[in-house]
Structure 1
Amino acid sequence: MMALKGYRVVELVGLAPAPFCGLILSDFGAQVIRVDRPHSKQPDCLKRGKKSFHIDLKSSDGKQVFRRLTQTADVVIEPFRPGVMENLGLGPKDLMTNNEKLIYARLTGYGQTGPMAKRAGHDINYLALSGILSILGTAKTPSPPINLLGDFAGGGLLCSLGICMALLERTKSGKGQVVDSSITEGTAYVSSWIWHSMSDKSTVKDMVWLQPGQRERNLLDGGTPFYRCYLTKDNKHMAVGALEPQFYDKFTEILELDTNLYNRYDFTKWHQLTEKLSQIFATKTQKEWIQVFDGTDACVSPVLEIDSVQQYGHHIDRQSFFSDGTPKPSPILSRTPTLRDNNNNNSNEEMVDKELLIDMGYTEQEINLLVTNKTIEIGIDFNSKL
């Protein structure tokens, strides 16, 4: 049995963070129902394992359908700006009146309160206000790691964690609660180590932050010659992470570098070592470098291409990717595994059927009327089946 089997989640359709939150819960066994607008063309490539239910939430009948749906739900994931659901009469207070066990997760850019709460934004804006963007990117310009850190790590992932913690607490209190998940705050929280490592009390500050306030000048931001990527002869890359002395010694031994000539602790000469390593890595193809470092603890790895990463030997052995090349859920639970079957990796939209509404207490005649009035859309041809 999967870890979250038996839980019902209602996911109001939004952009990347909320669908990822729902995907995590679905992958670990929850029944996730995506609620979208009728005839919606909302782009969403994270539908795996979910079923869609199109409801007109602006109509009185549609609101009633949604209320009845959430009366038996364990979780609602809501990605809108503060006040949107309250204006519809479908906010947490409205829904939790009839379901006190409901976990109502609100995933937004800036949180439910404060002067920025209702402002628009995207991942880059949340990173900017979290403080983290200032240390990411090149020496000249900050730049985000696509939208991974904010939308998915500080947003969807932490929201799913908040939901699971609320579900765990509910086993003690019997009550639900609101999860206020701010992507900006989540991004900062995921990056907590940065603040602590920069503290004057930190034992690693001088080692990690050699030139604080500057990018590409420190231990882990691409500034060091032994923690960065190098171009190979075939225009691919190798990633070097030889931080600790024992790994660096093995690294230089394999490359036959004179450690007396290239002192890893003298950062004033790092540019010379970087140039030397760039010249060395340019002499072989990535495949040849893989063979050179195979079986060694020099902390050197190939930078695998996203469209072929599933072909790497280690990933094949652990079956880390689906047959279409997309990653399988992680982590792996020993007794209650996640979705790991290639046959279930379907990202196409699958609609709920009338059985869901019958379970909610609707008669077939009422369901037919809701469809005819375009209050709802479900996966069935009522003209031929009712």
Structure 2
Amino acid sequence: MTATPPLSGLKVVELHAIGPVPFAGQLLRSLGADVLRVSPPSDPGLGIGVKPEYDLLNQGKRALSVDLKQPDGLAALRRELANADVLLEGFRPGVLERLGLAPAALLDAHPRLVVGRLSGWGRDGELSQRAGHDINYLALSGVLNAIGAPEAPVPPLNLVADFGGGAMHLLVGVLAKLVQRSITQRGGVAETSILAGTVGLTPMVYGLMAGGLWNLERANNLLDGALPFYRVYRCADGRFVAAGALEPKFYAQLLAVTGLEAEIDPRDQYRPATWPATIERFAARFATRSRDEWAQASAAHDACLSPVLDFTEAARHPHNLANGLYRGEPFAQPAEVIRFDRDLGAA
């Protein structure tokens, strides 16, 4: 990052929440913003049981402990908002209004303020006031049904709906309003939901469905494990490799790495009738070596074959370390993953 981070001088007030809102605030902080986290005195950790030193979604943030249901707590928050650029909140629809913090009133008092609002289900509809978590939003968006083996969907951690859907779309909205404010000198509201953000990740799938190229049954599609060259295989040591050789030139390399050129005709790559037998051949071949042996065998080939690492292994992998993706102090954790430098493009 440059000596002066791109969001240096930006003041963000983040109202207490778990998951996507703290993640959004943390990303803004990593870009240079001054983030103040406002939490209730009774439960500053919001019941998630993580010690402060391990709470990476809130590292580097300033903290203010106030009860927003009390007049003095609201007064303290209003004092902070007087100099704030952004307010982030993740309450159910209507909670901010009931606290006396309706965005319209906030913007009357602070015309340059950008209010970023993230609910679970959205402000309208029968579920707007219902509780929910990542897996619930995935379920209603259609995404959960598409992930996993035919027997049952598989929850993909909370990285898709909470962080990929909700937090990222919230950030896009907030940053867009900040850019607009630089022109108009007026703030405004950027509002989305975790459900909406998850749906927002799916346009490619809907296009494929409309074109007759997507099957609603799991493990029957291009990117869901149905293809022999885009799936995970178990190795001799019980660990796994991931094959992603979609293009014919990479598929040819995969056949070379596995030594299956004589058994598998590359011209049949996209013939579904051949896939079950091809999967069996690949599975049998990958079962003859360990994961790391396959990684070594493919090192000199563009075969789109990768070892499936756990989090600890990922933090130690030489390539990841060469790119500065992790730092080791005080313990292994992701580093800042966006680089800013005027000369990067010339490298």
Kindly provide the amino acid, as one letter, of the partner of residue 337 in structure 2: S
Unaligned runs of 5+ in 1: 338-386
Once the two structures are TM-superposed, the CA of residue 335 in structure 1 deviates from its matched residue by: 4.3
Deviates more, 1:75-84 or 1:38-47: 38-47
- The structure 2 residue matched to 1:327, chosen from 303, 309, 334, is 334
Distance 1:310 1:322, change over 3 A: same
**Following the alignment from structure 1 to structure 2, what is the Cα–Cα distance between the partners of residues 140 and 193?**
24
Residue from 308, 311, 315 that aligns with 2:313: 308
Supply the distance in 2 between the matched residues of 1:241 and 1:121 (Cα, whole angstroms).
34
What residue number does 1:245 align with? 248
Give me the identity figure in percent: 37
- Structure 1 CA distance, aligned partners of 2:274 and 2:7? 53
Deviation at 1:193, TM superposition (A): 1.3
> Residues of 2 paired with 1:287 and 1:187: CA distance?
35
Paired residue for 2:35? 32
In the TM superposition, what are the counterparts of 1:1-386 in structure 2 within 5 Å? 1-40=4-43, 41-42=45-46, 43=48, 45=55, 46-200=57-211, 205-206=212-213, 209=214, 212-257=215-260, 258-260=263-265, 263-323=268-328, 324-335=331-342
Is the 8 Å Cα contact of residues 308 and 325 (structure 1) preserved in structure 2? no
Q: Is the 2:85–2:114 contact (alpha carbons within 8 Å) kept by the matching residues of 1?
A: yes
Shift of 1:74: 0.5
**1:131 and 1:261, CA in 2 relative to 1: closer, same or farther beyond 3 A?**
closer
> Given the two structures, how large is their TM-score scaled by the length of structure 2?
0.90
Deviation at 1:243, TM superposition (A): 0.9
| Kept after mapping to 1: 8 A contact 2:112/2:185 | yes
Let me know the Cα RMSD of the aligned residues: 1.8
Residues 269 and 314 from structure 1, CA distance in 2 versus in 1: closer, same or farther, beyond 3 angstroms? Answer: same
Structure 1 letter corresponding to 2:338: P
Q: Is the 8 A contact 1:102 1:175 kept in 2?
A: yes
Compute the displacement of 1:112 (Å).
Answer: 2.2
Report the equivalent of 1:369.
none
CA deviation digits over 1:189-231, x for unaligned, max 9? 122211122223xxxx54xx3xx12111112101111101111
SS of alignment partner, residue 35 of structure 1: strand
Give per-residue Cα distances to partners, 1:126-172, cap 9 Å, x unaligned: 11222222212221222331111100011111111111111000011
1:259, distance to aligned residue in structure 2 (A): 2.5
**Aligned-pair distance for 1:262?**
8.9
* 2:289 aligned counterpart, secondary structure: coil
Which of these two proteins has the greater Rg computed from alpha carbons? 1
Unaligned runs of 5+ in 2: none
Question: Does the Cα contact within 8 Å between 2:236 and 2:290 map onto a contact in 1?
Answer: yes
TM-score when scaled to structure 1? 0.81
The SS at the match of 1:153 is helix
CA distance in 2, matches of 1:261, 1:179: 49
In structure 1, C-alpha distance between the alignment counterparts of 2:183 and 2:343, rounded to whole Å: 22
Of 214-223 and 324-333, more deviation after overlay is shown by: 324-333
How many pairs were matched up? 329
> Structure 2 CA distance, aligned partners of 1:118 and 1:163?
23
CA-to-aligned-CA distance 1:248-269 (integer Å, 9 cap, x gap): 1111122221223993233223
Q: CA deviation at 1:93?
A: 2.2
Q: Which stretch shows the higher mean deviation, 136-145 or 262-271?
A: 262-271
Tell me, what secondary structure is at the counterpart of 2:109? coil
